[in-house]
Amino acid sequence: MPQDIDPRLLRAFTATAEELHFTRAAARLFVAQQALSRDIRRLERELGAELFVRTTRAVELTADGTRLLPHARRVLAAHDELRAAWAAEARPLIVDIGAPVGTGHRVLTRAREVAPGPEFVVRYLTGLTGAAADILAGRVDVSFGRVAGLEPSVLAGLAHQPVRYERMAVLLPDDHRLAHLAEIPVDMLKGETLYAGVGNPATAEWTDLAARLFAGRGVELAPPFPEISGEEEFTRVVRGRGWSVLASMDFLAIPGMTLRPLTAPVPLSPVSLVWRKGLRHPGLEVLREVANGMATANGWLEIPQKSWLPGVDLSLMSQ
Predicted confidence (pLDDT) per residue in 138-163, tens digit: 889 999 999 999 998 889 899 999 99
In the prediction, which pLDDT does 56 show?
Answer: 75
Q: How many CA atoms lie within 13 A of 266 on its CB side?
A: 13
116 contact partners, CB below 8 Å, separation of at least 6: none
Instruction: Indicate if the alpha-carbon torsion angle 147, 151, 154, 157 is positive or negative.
Output: positive
In the prediction, which pLDDT does 198 show?
Answer: 93
Query: Which residues sit opposite 273 in a β-bridge?
Result: 144, 161
Q: Identify whether 265 is preceded by a cis peptide bond (ω within 30 of 0).
A: yes
In the prediction, which pLDDT does 85 show?
Answer: 62
The Cα 53–Cα 154 span in angstroms is: 20
167-267 placed in CATH 3.40.190.10: yes
Give the CATH architecture of domain 93-165+270-317: 3-Layer(aba) Sandwich (3.40)
- Residue 60 sits at φ, ψ, to 5 deg, of -135, 150
In the prediction, which pLDDT does 291 show?
Answer: 96
Fold designation for 7-86:
Arc Repressor Mutant, subunit A (1.10.10)
Secondary-structure breakdown of the chain: helix, strand, coil percentages, each rounded to the nearest 5: 45, 20, 35
By three-state DSSP, how is residue 262 classified?
A: strand
Query: Which residues sit opposite 248 in a β-bridge?
Result: 168
The stretches in the chain having pLDDT less than 70 are 1-3, 83-90
Query: For a pLDDT cut of 70, what percent of the chain falls above it?
Result: 97
User: Mean of the per-residue pLDDT values for the chain?
Assistant: 91
* CA distances in angstroms from 218 to 207, 215, 222, 288, 312, listed in the order given: 16, 7, 13, 40, 23
Per DSSP, the chain holds a count of helices (H) and strands (E) of 11, 13
**pTM of the entire predicted model:** 0.74
Residues 65-116: pLDDT tens digits?
A: 999 999 999 898 888 777 666 654 568 999 999 888 999 999 999 999 999 8
Alpha helix ranges (H) inside the chain? 7-19, 22-29, 33-47, 63-86, 103-114, 128-136, 152-155, 204-214, 231-241, 282-298, 311-317
> CATH 1.10.10.10 spans which residues of the chain?
7-86
> CATH 3.40.190.10 spans which residues of the chain?
93-165+270-317, 167-267
